[in-house]
Amino acid sequence: MFRIIALTLLTVLYQYSSIYGQHDVTIRVIHTSDVHGALFPFDYINNKAVDYGQAQVHSYVEQVRNTSGHEVILLDNGDFLQGQPTVYYSNYIDTASQHIVSKVMNFMRYDAASVGNHDIEAGPRVYDELTEDFTFPWLSANIIDTRTQQPYFQPYTVVTKNNVRVAVLGLTTPGIPKWLSPSLWPNMRFDDMVETARLWIDSIRIYENPHVIIGLFHAGHDATYEGANPELPFNDNASVLVAEKVPGFDLILIGHDHDRTIKKVTNINGDTVTIIDPGSRAHLVSDATVSLSFDGENNLQSKSVSAKLVAMNEMIPDPNYVSIFSDFTSEVERFVDRKIGSFTHSISTRDAYFGPSAFVNLIHEVQLGISKCDVSFAAPLFFDTEIDHGDVYVRDMFKLYGYENLLYIMELSGQEIKNYLEYSYGLWMKTMESANDNMILFRTDENGIPILHNKGRALLKSSFYNFDSAAGISYDVDLTKPAGDRITIKSMENGEPFKNDKMYRVAINSYRGNGGGGHLTEGAGLSSDELQKRTISVSPKDMRFYLMNWIENSGRISPAKPSNWRVVPEEWANKAAIRDRELLFGKE
């Protein structure tokens, strides 16, 4: 009996000391971001197995969970609803079944996620359904429900691990109104990230008394991206601004920009904040270690944060994960394997950077065909992709059109169309002083020489998806002239006169129509309110749907390079194109 009593007392004392005595706690925070439908170890667009994705992530997370002494918090930073046909299928094709994203993320036991701009792009039917189906909170403190003036999504959550309270605040880039049709975000307002963080951080500290505060921000680290002014409100990529200006965060997990990053910044109180971004499509995960020491009265004595990026290419996809979702992946395979037509010639986005291309012309042709507009604007939406001649399948439509943009019909004057093109080519091409100059606007050093990265390849100064050309009009781009004075519109493509003071109907995607890229705002000079007034109609379905139908109804397509525009002097442009193509893509 004495032995039993003694053992019982020792057990109680041990439990008491382990809870209230001096002790250390280690928490591993694993973070994915911008998964973009990479749920399985297969690329359904390019029809090949891959060594990244959520099946590999699940193997890694389970490995860490099974490591003695490690508490694990699993977080995601949004933009999982766009990219691969897996999510397109759940978003738009099989809308009766539970969404594959909620099935997968619930299975993986996520603790929280933030809302990304591409998650809003799926529309309220999808994101409202997911909010209900997730077994964890979906966070965004700065997306406001205008009917209640409260956050549309849960603003923050508190995760408790081994008596350590970890608060997680979600924020979303406020640039959504510039990129997405208002029909996709009814009853929403997108507030400034810095001001929203200030609003919530004190409440979290007072009412939740957390030991650790994590920011889960779907926004990039470069507040000056594409010329943005970090001093102005509503910055699209304000994650570092929040870290610097809003004290209280220990760790900020970011995304949106697909830019793999680990950095430490000092906030206005002199405290260090760790920032980490794993890039996109679950090629890597963020793995942060939070180490805490407590005294005998359970008061926090010290805290430190370290972080690393872990590649998934050596992880074996979890067999149980793959098996559980095999019925769904079989459905997706049948969907993408469906033949919809054929091409007589291969088309490549590589051609689109140096002049008219069959690739972009096919988009123009469909936009003009279904809208009956006078003019079409379009750009390549993949940097480097090709659709081979021969049979064309549903999967190829994800190469032809990379996003779920809607089609807008807008009304622009002739002068606004010219100004739009001046702006586009100003992002795209540089002024040439001789045939030996580059024609593409590359990132350069202080001497104007293109900076080479990635096996000697040059980097574009601006994003390729902003390189809009036009159809329906005939025009020249004169690279001997400065940006802003290069475009000469000679006529409509059918030979009719083009008039600067005439209003034209223009086919354009929703990203551009809402002001994305700045072509209509900075280029054509239209305000946000004026953009809405100029919008005549918005398509009910995405452009990929219309391209798919167009090709299926046509059967056999002969993609052709258009002749409605050219770069001059042609001899200079032709020579420069050969050099610049090799700089961009290497020897072919």
pLDDT digits (tens, 9 = 90+) for 85-110: 999 999 999 999 999 999 999 999 99
In DSSP terms, which residues pair with 300 in a beta bridge?
A: 294
Query: Do residues 531 and 381 touch, judged by C-beta distance below 8 A?
Result: no
Q: How far apart are CA 442 and CA 428, in angstroms?
A: 9
Q: Please answer whether residues 462 and 427 qualify as being in contact, where contact means their C-beta atoms are separated by less than 8 angstroms.
A: yes
Is the predicted pLDDT of residue 9 greater than 50, yes or no? no
Distance CA 210, CA 169 (A): 12
Query: Token pair 């540089």 is at which residue?
Result: 430
Q: CA 442, CA 460: separation in Å to the nearest integer?
A: 4
Q: How does strand 71-76 pair with strand 112-114?
A: parallel
How far, in Å, CA of 44 to CA of 83, rounded? 10
Q: How far apart are CA 235 and CA 170, in angstroms?
A: 16
User: Helices 54-65 and 100-108 meet at what angle, rounded to 10?
Assistant: 20
Model pLDDT, residue 11: 45
Judged against a pLDDT cut of 60, whether residue 3 lies above it is answered with no
Residue type, 438: N
Closest CA to 164 of 31, 37, 26: 26
Identity of the residue numbered 76: D
Report whether 88 contacts 404 (CB < 8 A).
Answer: yes
Q: How far apart are CA 392 and CA 379, in angstroms?
A: 21
- What is the tens place of the pLDDT at every residue in 511-548? 999 999 999 999 999 999 999 999 999 999 999 999 99
> CA-CA distances (angstroms) from residue 215 to 197, 201, 309?
9, 10, 17
Contact 52, 9 (CB under 8 A): no
Task: Specify the range with the lowest mean pLDDT, choosing from 11-15, 359-363, 529-533.
Answer: 11-15
Which tens digit of pLDDT belongs to each residue from 375-394?
Answer: 999 999 999 999 999 999 99
Residue written as token pair 């792009």: 121
Overall average pLDDT of the 428-443 stretch? 96
CA distance 459 to 535: 34
User: For residue 83, which of 52, 124, 59, 129 has the smallest C-alpha distance?
Assistant: 52
Q: How confident is the model at residue 226 (pLDDT cuts 50, 70, 90)?
A: confident
Contact by Cβ (8 Å): 278, 307: no
Ordered domains of the chain (ranges, CATH):
20-332 (3.60.21.10), 339-585 (3.90.780.10)
Q: What is the pLDDT of residue 20?
A: 54
pLDDT at 505 > cutoff 80? yes
Angstrom distance (rounded) from CA 69 to CA 74: 16
Position 454 scores a pLDDT of 74
Question: Do the Cβ atoms of 489 and 498 come closer than 8 Å?
Answer: yes
Per residue in 231-275, pLDDT tens? 999 999 999 999 999 999 999 999 999 999 999 999 999 999 999
The DSSP bridge partners found for residue 488 are 476
Least confident of 131-145, 236-250, 289-303: 289-303
pLDDT in tens, 142-194: 999 999 999 999 999 999 999 999 999 999 999 999 999 999 999 999 999 99
Reported confidence tier of residue 141, pLDDT bands at 50, 70, 90: very high
pLDDT band, very low/low/confident/very high, at 283 (cuts 50, 70, 90): very high
Distance CA 189, CA 184 (A): 12
Token pair belonging to 531: 């953009």
| Secondary structure in 3-state letters for 400-427 | HCCCCCEEEEEEEEHHHHHHHHHHHHHH
According to DSSP, the β-strands at 150-151 and 143-145 are antiparallel
Q: Burial code of 306-330, b = ≥16 C-beta within 10 A, e = fewer?
A: ebebeebeebebbeebeeebeebbe
DSSP state of 92: I
User: Side-chain half-sphere of 317: how many Cα atoms within 13 Å?
Assistant: 20
Tens digit of each residue's pLDDT (9 = 90 or more) over 314-324:
999 999 999 99
Q: Using CA atoms, how far apart are residues 23 and 295, in angstroms rounded to an integer?
A: 7
